[in-house]
Chains A and B, each alone.
Chain A
Amino acid sequence: MVLLRAIIPLLSILIFLPAIAGLVILALPENRRNLIRWVALGTSLVTLLLALLVYVSYDAGIGGYQWVEGPFPWVGALGISYFVGVDGLSVPLVLLAAVVLLFGVMISWNVEDRPREYFAFLLFLGTSVLGVFSSLDLFQLFFFFELAVFPKYLMIVLWGSPKTRNYGAMKLTLYLFIGSVVALVGVLAMYFASGKFTFNLIELERAGFSPAFQYAWFPVLFLGFAVLSGIFPFHSWAPDGHVAAPTAVSMMLAGVEMKVGAFAALRVAILLLPIGAKQWAWAILILATINVVYGALIALIQKDFKYVIGFSSVSHMGLVLIGFATLTHDGLLGSGMQMFSHGIMTALFFAVVGMVYDRAHTREIGQLGGLFRVMPVAAIGFIIAGLVSMGMPGFSGFVAEFPIFMGAWQVSPAVAIIAVLGVIITAGYILLVIRRVFFGEMPAALQGRVGDIGMMDKIVVISLSVMMIALGWFPQALMAGILNSGVQRILTLLGGA
């Protein structure tokens, strides 16, 4: 393994493989649909295997950044380098991105409208998110962050749901772009204020920015990036965008992209400006708590199946941000778990919603019912995701949310109590949706028209469900150990400030 690491730039291959495959696909003739989708599937499968290899071989005992490549000068005159590596916090996210990418490709198996562009853009999106999670250079991180702009926009506009796609896509893109460019100004300010003229994140961690600087620029950087994680009051792109997007893109957006936002906010704002983070933690706690409760309440009154899940993402990402803002070991550990768990869960939610819509041609909860009998696997998958979402013991949601509440309690019991309320509301809307969509009488309009899901879809549902249950039973062995090494590093940085 040591030799392997020395010779093969595995992480770089992992990052760029999807994009290269995307370019190859764009060069294929348009009518070779089968070839195109097999290339996409093969690539994303290899990507997942590589991600698994990186994940499994990550040595939590040593901790720190592993599989490091670089820094190789990219633009030496500006202190920009190509520099990748993963630590305990980012390596689960790399795995998450690869998982969702693969299942996104599988769920899109029957795309008929311009499959070439569809799969190519989806793979570009994969490279963008993998790149952000592995970046150890701030310029490079931002570069990958923004790389997602056009695939997201075009995929929603071209393959999204016809009624809202133009609005949803433009709203999503502009919200996220405004957040990222505002953050960019903050990034530039840090670059000059550090006096080191480098974008190297490890170097910048040691820059020792003045407290006044940190206080002034932390909100700019944190909020700029956190727009993508759906922080209140900049969350409204999320439900509209998720709902307008085609299924695979909803999975990527809610499952991975929102974590990109949270991760960047943590990696850049909190870790580089720890004093600012401590001063502003109360504000983030308030906003994130609003996220949890408000998102859940709005989800409760939705009539559209997909909007319920869209708002539930806003609510759940609130928990991740609460965990960050506690700046405690428990909170951060829980956030790390929640990012992975929610990514898998929401990907499964959106996958099932997509399967239901493809067959019933409606997302109105009132017009659905009794689907358990015709698509049992999808229904059970949805129920499992629902249990995860409610934080039931035995599922990954519990092992993620419980530490977050513990962390919140240490900082502010009020926040913990209100956030737990949000989870109770979550139980309400999830059970309501499960009962009305999958049980009860099937409306006459759907009788005989709705069939079971295909083999590809079943594999997706079962794999994602198994992952959530496994993580719920064996959190320590599967993830907490690795995450812990990442959290320790953060605490050192915070304590050293």
Chain B
Amino acid sequence: MQPNPFQPAMFLAILPEIALAVLAALILTLDLTLGTARKRYLGWVTAGGLVIIMALAAALSRPAAQPELIFGGMLRLDGLTFVFRFIFLLGAAITCLLMVDSATVATPGVRAPGREGEFYVLLLIATLGMDLMASSADLVMLYLAIETTSLPLYILAGFLTRDPRSTEAGMKYFLFGAMTAAIMLYGFSLIFGLTGTTNLYAMTAQWSAGKIPVALPLVAVMLALVGFGFKISAVPFHFWAPDVYEGAPTPVAGFLSTASKAAGFAVLLRFLLAAFPQIAPDWTVVLAVIAAASMIVGNLLAAVQKNIKRLLAYSSIAQAGYILVGVVAAGSPISAKLGAQGVLYYLLSYLVTNLAAFGIVAWVGRSLGSDDISVYAGLQKRNPYLALALLVAMLSLGGVPPLGGFMGKLLVFGAAVQSGTLGIVLAFIGVITSVIGLYYYLNVLRIAFSVPAEAHLPALPVTVAFRVAIITCVALILALGTIIAPWFGLSILGAAF
């Protein structure tokens, strides 16, 4: 098929991934050579490195007008790969900044000293895996990429080895992940058996040949969906999320709920739309049910939570439901474009929004020693700007203009309305459940902005790294909600696969 499987241009296509591996090695080396006092700069170095890699990716590894399969059909550098790469890199960079101070301010005894380096290295490897997930064009490569992403994340979730909740989170995440991956792999093997190929882009020809009854690929797709559903924490594959988010270090939970979820959606889009367009009418119904269940269950359960991390976990399940509405719309030929673009836009705004939310939760949790929503009382008195950042994040999650979340919702619901009756029903379920969503987001804000009875509340100062991370997020949330055109352009680019 391809005369020379290794052309120099191919290495340019994976330059960001190579750079990620180099950065990981560099951090590992620095971790061994630097003294304890200087190790707190490792987070800055990692974040800086990630920003440089983003610049590299933007300048040197752009997708061609006619994307081709590279490395013997294993990878594909197209718009989807290109845009998702930024989502992962930005998510990782912000997570690093949020971690910088957790190393110094960490609760004594909970965290073993001297392990910062490992944290950042694992994070980088997970990011590398996500990059490969988004660009995989072959089932084997896809599986390897998913595992490359998952293994470091299992460790990161259980990173606080002396905190039983964290180790439980890591273990739970691992068991769920391993089981769903096994089911997904079974689905992959069925697909291979049916088509005789593992390449996603070679399958359509097999389906079109008409020799395979529709039911068989649908079963295979549903088995694979178990694995993807776990990644994006959609109902009914969501049970791990609240426990893992609650137990994992908060920035890791933020990373899991944004970048890792985005990676799941990248795979979902490519897998379903590149390899299974023929049975789209069937899988859209399956996905529509999953989406509706996620929106309803996620929002209803979030509304009754007392712990902010659990609230955000259920909220992220609901958000997965909204994004799935976009995927459903992408499966219909009428709204294929807008659906995929909506998914991209939603993920972009959700990335910065949820990272801001988890960042603030991490900071409050670390400073006040609790993740109960009740400790947020008087936050506005303690630090008005932190409260304003929380306001922006919560309202963006609720989908209120002029914030990014509003545009994301508008686009996915718009695509759903365009797609037809099923989509209109989904859009109505979506908007009604988003009212429940607004209820609990506003509740958090009410507590944060109201003044508690205790007269004196100490101020809540924040550090530079934290400030940089949160200001970046808030600025991007506002930009995504007001200066919409360039981001939408990015979504159009990313919807090409």
Determine if chain A interacts with chain B. yes
Taking beta carbons and an 8 Å cutoff, which residues of A are in contact with B?
26, 30, 73-78, 80, 113-114, 117, 142-143, 146-147, 149-150, 153-154, 157-158, 166, 169-170, 173-174, 177-178, 181-182, 184-185, 188-189, 191-192
Residues of B402-458 at the interface with A, using a CB-CB cut-off of 8 Å, are: 402, 406, 410, 413-414, 417-418, 424, 427-428, 431-432, 434-435, 438-439, 442-443, 445-446, 449-451
15 pairs from A and B in contact (CB 8 Å cutoff): A73-B485, A74-B485, A114-B380, A153-B442, A154-B391, A154-B445, A154-B449, A157-B446, A166-B446, A169-B446, A184-B410, A184-B431, A188-B427, A189-B424, A192-B414
How many angstroms between the C-alpha atoms of A92 and B418 in the bound complex? Answer: 37
Taking beta carbons and an 8 Å cutoff, which residues of B are in contact with A?
380, 384, 388, 391, 395, 400-402, 406, 410, 413-414, 417-418, 424, 427-428, 431-432, 434-435, 438-439, 442-443, 445-446, 449-451, 484-485, 488-489, 492
How many angstroms between the C-alpha atoms of A77 and B495 in the bound complex? Answer: 14
How many angstroms between the C-alpha atoms of A153 and B402 in the bound complex? Answer: 16
A147 and B418 within 8 A (CB): no
A-B interface contact total, Cβ < 8 Å: 92
Also in contact, A170 and B413, with CB within 8 A (given A30-B384, A154-B449, A184-B431): no
Also in contact, A150 and B391, with CB within 8 A (given A80-B484, A181-B431, A184-B413): yes
With a CB–CB cut-off of 8 A, which chain B residues contact A26? 388
A192 and B418 within 8 A (CB): yes
How many angstroms between the C-alpha atoms of A177 and B442 in the bound complex? Answer: 12
B400 and A181 within 8 A (CB): no
Select one of A75, A117, A189 contacting B484, CB under 8 A: A75
How many angstroms between the C-alpha atoms of A361 and B431 in the bound complex? Answer: 41
B484 and A74 within 8 A (CB): yes
How many angstroms between the C-alpha atoms of A184 and B417 in the bound complex? Answer: 10
B395 and A149 within 8 A (CB): yes
With a CB–CB cut-off of 8 A, which chain A residues contact B391? 150, 154
Instruction: Give the Cβ gap from A420 to chain B, nearest Cβ, in Å.
Output: 38
Q: CB-nearest residue of chain B relative to A185? A: B427
With a CB–CB cut-off of 8 A, which chain A residues contact B413? 184-185, 188
Interface of chain B, main secondary structure: helix
B484 and A178 within 8 A (CB): no
Q: CB-nearest residue of chain B relative to A113? A: B451
How many angstroms between the C-alpha atoms of A147 and B481 in the bound complex? Answer: 11
Instruction: Give the Cβ gap from B394 to chain A, nearest Cβ, in Å.
Output: 9
B384 and A192 within 8 A (CB): no
Instruction: Give the Cβ gap from B99 to chain A, nearest Cβ, in Å.
Output: 29
B439 and A170 within 8 A (CB): yes
With a CB–CB cut-off of 8 A, which chain A residues contact B424? 185, 189
With a CB–CB cut-off of 8 A, which chain B residues contact A30? 384
Select one of A78, A146, A192 contacting B406, CB under 8 A: A146
- Identify the 3 closest CB pairs spanning chains A and B, nearest first: A181-B431, A188-B417, A75-B484
Q: CB-nearest residue of chain B relative to A145? A: B401
B485 and A143 within 8 A (CB): no
With a CB–CB cut-off of 8 A, which chain B residues contact A154? 391, 445-446, 449
With a CB–CB cut-off of 8 A, which chain B residues contact A184? 410, 413, 431
B485 and A177 within 8 A (CB): no
How many angstroms between the C-alpha atoms of A174 and B489 in the bound complex? Answer: 33
B400 and A192 within 8 A (CB): no
Select one of A77, A177, A189 contacting B488, CB under 8 A: A77
Instruction: Give the Cβ gap from A278 to chain B, nearest Cβ, in Å.
Output: 24
Q: CB-nearest residue of chain B relative to A120? A: B388
How many angstroms between the C-alpha atoms of A496 and B413 in the bound complex? Answer: 32
Select one of A75, A153, A188, A189 contacting B485, CB under 8 A: A75
Also in contact, A191 and B485, with CB within 8 A (given A173-B438, A181-B434): no
With a CB–CB cut-off of 8 A, which chain B residues contact A143? 401-402, 406
B432 and A178 within 8 A (CB): yes
Also in contact, A174 and B400, with CB within 8 A (given A74-B485, A185-B428): no
With a CB–CB cut-off of 8 A, which chain A residues contact B431? 178, 181-182, 184-185
Q: CB-nearest residue of chain A relative to B431? A: A181
B484 and A192 within 8 A (CB): no
A147 and B401 within 8 A (CB): yes
With a CB–CB cut-off of 8 A, which chain A residues contact B384? 30, 117
How many angstroms between the C-alpha atoms of A181 and B435 in the bound complex? Answer: 8
With a CB–CB cut-off of 8 A, which chain B residues contact A78? 488
Instruction: Give the Cβ gap from B332 to chain A, nearest Cβ, in Å.
Output: 12
How many angstroms between the C-alpha atoms of A117 and B492 in the bound complex? Answer: 38
How many angstroms between the C-alpha atoms of A454 and B424 in the bound complex? Answer: 55
How many angstroms between the C-alpha atoms of A192 and B380 in the bound complex? Answer: 43
With a CB–CB cut-off of 8 A, which chain B residues contact A192? 414, 417-418
B435 and A178 within 8 A (CB): yes
With a CB–CB cut-off of 8 A, which chain A residues contact B451? 113
With a CB–CB cut-off of 8 A, which chain A residues contact B380? 114, 117
B400 and A146 within 8 A (CB): yes
How many angstroms between the C-alpha atoms of A192 and B439 in the bound complex? Answer: 30
How many angstroms between the C-alpha atoms of A154 and B391 in the bound complex? Answer: 10
How many angstroms between the C-alpha atoms of A146 and B489 in the bound complex? Answer: 24
A173 and B442 within 8 A (CB): yes
With a CB–CB cut-off of 8 A, which chain B residues contact A147? 400-402
Q: CB-nearest residue of chain A relative to B483? A: A74
Instruction: Give the Cβ gap from A257 to chain B, nearest Cβ, in Å.
Output: 16
Q: CB-nearest residue of chain A relative to B415? A: A188
How many angstroms between the C-alpha atoms of A150 and B432 in the bound complex? Answer: 18
